[in-house]
């Protein structure tokens, strides 16, 4: 063992350690090194598994594909009997994006900020409200007692129209352009409902059964129009689904496609 020099210039005598102690030290260092290498490999492997959708428990969890991914949209179109060649080309080309953007821009100009948003003969109701609140507004439109005065409505609705900073229900009607739009329900109904919606919005999915109930109970009075309002910042599949619905409209099956998407999503949401 080499000698070491002290600060005072004297030489520190060498010390001869027993050979057996050195061997133990080497073995311990080797074990620690192997352990660190093993843990590094383990951590790296775990990160890869998590990235690919595998849990730490070792159970395989496939990364779930969205119910409204483009491949699934094409599958639904085929199930609905659309000409898939035309539909797929339309979806892949993005040719409907301009129309979707136009609807979104128009909705924003009317004050729509989120989805779903409903204009009931121009009176705005923002959100997935229960059927009785829709019924109150529709009934007043039908019997001629609709008012722009918040106090003319029930206390349940007044909660949503009394605060000017948070008008979930705005009884002051706006004119909404529905020219050249596909409708469902009765033609030229006493009540026109224009829905601004997003196919990937959980609240729109929740509102879908309510909309179907309205069409069923007011089948002679309500005309429903649908306008696209995909919230692309938070719903990555909403834009393409909106485009796909317009591609389906080219083949006369907008509402069949619309209903299929929402029914599939409602079923998936319930699981």
| Mean pLDDT of successive 10-residue stretches along the chain, which has 271 residues | 39 47 62 59 47 44 80 98 98 98 97 97 97 98 98 97 92 94 94 98 97 98 98 97 98 98 89 61
Q: So what's the pLDDT on residue 33? A: 62
Q: Return all residues near 134 (Cβ < 8 A) that are at least 6 apart.
A: 118, 120, 125, 210, 214
Q: How far is it, in rounded angstroms, from Cα 186 to Cα 220?
A: 6
Structure letter (DSSP) for residue 184: E
Q: How far is it, in rounded angstroms, from Cα 75 to Cα 116?
A: 26
Q: How far is it, in rounded angstroms, from Cα 228 to Cα 100?
A: 6
* Encoded tokens for 81: 């009997």
- What is the reported pTM? 0.77
Question: Scanning the structure block, which residue is given the tokens 């000698």?
Answer: 3
């Amino acid at each position: 063992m080499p000698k070491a020099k002290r600060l005072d210039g004297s030489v520190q005598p060498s010390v001869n350690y027993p050979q057996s102690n050195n061997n133990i030290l080497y073995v311990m260092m080797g074990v620690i090194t192997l352990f660190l290498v093993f843990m590094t490999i383990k951590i790296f492997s775990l990160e890869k598994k998590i990235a690919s959708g595998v849990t730490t428990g070792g159970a395989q969890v496939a990364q779930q594909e969205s119910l409204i991914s483009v491949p699934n949209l094409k599958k639904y179109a085929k199930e609905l009997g659309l000409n898939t060649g035309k539909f797929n080309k339309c979806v892949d080309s993005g040719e409907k994006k301009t129309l979707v953007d136009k609807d979104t821009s128009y909705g924003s100009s009317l004050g729509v900020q989120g989805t779903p948003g409903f204009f009931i003969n121009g009176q705005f109701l923002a959100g997935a409200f229960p059927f009785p609140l829709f019924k109150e507004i529709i009934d007043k439109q039908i019997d001629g007692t609709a008012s722009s005065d918040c106090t003319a409505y029930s206390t349940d609705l007044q909660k949503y129209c009394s605060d000017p900073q948070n008008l979930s229900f705005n009884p002051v009607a706006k004119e909404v352009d529905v020219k050249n739009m596909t409708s469902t329900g009765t033609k030229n109904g006493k009540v026109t409902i224009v829905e601004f919606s997003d196919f990937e919005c959980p609240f729109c999915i929740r509102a879908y059964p309510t909309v179907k109930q309205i069409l069923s109970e007011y089948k002679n009075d309500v005309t429903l129009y649908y306008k696209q309002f995909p919230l692309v910042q938070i719903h990555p599949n909403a834009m393409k689904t909106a485009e796909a619905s317009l591609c389906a409209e080219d083949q006369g099956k907008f509402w069949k496609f619309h209903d299929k998407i929402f029914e599939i999503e409602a079923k998936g949401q319930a699981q």
